[in-house]
Amino acid sequence: MTPQQHSHIVIGGGISGISAAHYATRAGIDSLVLEQDTRIGGCMQTAMFDTLDGFWIEAGSHSCFNSYGNLIDILEPLGLLPLATAKAKQSYALWRGGKRSSIFSALHLAELLRSLPRLFTQSKAGASVAEYYGRGLGRRNYQDLFGPAFRSVICQRADDFPAEALFRKKPRRKDVLRSFTMPEGLQQIPRAIAERSGIEVRTGQGVEAIETAPDSAQPGYILRLSDGSRLGCRHLTLAVPPDVAARLLQPLAPEAAAVISDIGVVEIDSLLLAFPKDALTIPELAGLISVDGPFLSAVSRDFLADPRWRGFAFHFPADTLDDAARVQAACTALDTTPEQAAAIRHTRNRLPSLRKGHGQRLQALDTSLQGSRIGVTGNWFLGVSIEDCVTRSRQEHVRRFGDDLPRRQ
């Protein structure tokens, strides 16, 4: 049977895939997004608790910023920017030696003052996070405070991460909230972009394999889905983690696949806990940066106060503790017990593990993709932030379909 034919198929329904489909749709190219999960959003994952009056906790990303220019350029014409909701400004605390303490307690001020000038004069190019920030903030500051803080941002050891991929400087839109979420959490963003752009999304549709269409008069690709069905398309965008991209690209673009297979992936066990407000005594906080605890970081839901509930997401390196031990570790850090929790949920996140030398890897990948109808996007190009994903999707759109989009660097 001839597979159903589409103009453009995007594999992966995270923000990279949804933004790629948005750009194509805006350029008049009908796009179908195939997502293996039962929901779209990927790491933009908001856990909704129906039994707690719809209270939600971010299981993945929690903040967008007014420096996310490409994202804002998508939200604005779709009428979504007015939904941006301010996050209350709160401080993170350290979790060290089994106790919460202030960030300043770990700061070596004299060393910071001595080192800081180097931060503004040295280049990030080719340096690892440990090299760049160790020089610019001081070795002891890096070891005791900033290393753990960066680890908590990227949910993995930060030392070998490329400095260029962490905190890329981007211009701010002063008329937009500095740090924002959405009324239903950040997962609302990919969902609303898909709905308002008129993108067709099919969930529960994992792609198992891709081959080149046999008809050379009609170039394109045939996709084999997890349910055994097949779909054809003229243009294809991969917006999946690097290990999946390497596997899918192997038969079509072995050179690109070889470069991608060098990029690792880390898995994160994320634990969500909701408590009645009066069951907790710890003061409101943004979250915890773990220096030596079993978790990497914790992010609270205090940024958007709820009259009845408080919520936390604790992120652990995958498979290091069982469910009960994770719950106990989180409750200890919150001065409470598992019995006080109104809801507990476990989920898993995946993030790329970028390493020094990533820039050369990407150059090799982009060279091998030149002239190809296949676009490859994700959080493993410019960096892991939501804006980095959207920016890569935009670049891949322009490479293949031309620059019909409003100008932005």
Q: Which residues bind ligand FAD (CB under 6 A)?
A: 11-17, 34-37, 42-44, 60-63, 155, 206-207, 239-241, 244, 268, 315, 349-351, 378-379, 384-386, 389
Cβ burial 359-374 (10 Å sphere, 16+ → b, else e): eebbebbbebbeeebb
Q: Which is nearer to ligand FAD, 21 or 108 (CB)?
A: 21
Give me the least distance between CB of 313 and ligand FAD, in Å please. 7
CA angle 386, 390, 392 (to 5 degrees): 115
| Cβ-contact 401, 27 below 8 angstroms | yes
Give me the least distance between CB of 236 and ligand FAD, in Å please. 12
Give me the least distance between CB of 159 and ligand FAD, in Å please. 19
Tokens found for residue 129: 């996070």
Tell me the three state secondary structure of residue 49: strand
Give me the least distance between CB of 385 and ligand FAD, in Å please. 4
Tell me the three state secondary structure of residue 345: strand
| Cβ-contact 224, 28 below 8 angstroms | no
Q: Which is nearer to ligand FAD, 64 or 327 (CB)?
A: 64
Q: Which is nearer to ligand FAD, 313 or 334 (CB)?
A: 313
CA angle 81, 86, 87 (to 5 degrees): 135
Q: What is the DSSP letter of 284?
A: P
Spatial CA neighbour of 72 closest among 396, 391, 397? 391
Q: Which is nearer to ligand FAD, 188 or 379 (CB)?
A: 379
Gap between the Cα atoms of 199 and 167, Å rounded: 31
Long-range pairs, 171-176, Cβ under 8 A, ≥24: 171/67, 171/69, 172/65, 172/66, 172/67, 173/66, 173/67, 173/69, 173/72, 174/66, 176/66, 176/72, 176/81, 176/84
Q: Which is nearer to ligand FAD, 115 or 349 (CB)?
A: 349
Q: Which is nearer to ligand FAD, 153 or 258 (CB)?
A: 153
Give me the least distance between CB of 57 and ligand FAD, in Å please. 11
Alpha-carbon dihedral angle through residues 265, 266, 267, 269, given to the nearest 10 degrees: -160
Give me the least distance between CB of 301 and ligand FAD, in Å please. 13
Tokens found for residue 267: 């898995």
Gap between the Cα atoms of 213 and 394, Å rounded: 26
Give me the least distance between CB of 43 and ligand FAD, in Å please. 4
Q: Which is nearer to ligand FAD, 37 or 159 (CB)?
A: 37
Give me the least distance between CB of 377 and ligand FAD, in Å please. 7
Q: Which is nearer to ligand FAD, 108 or 151 (CB)?
A: 151
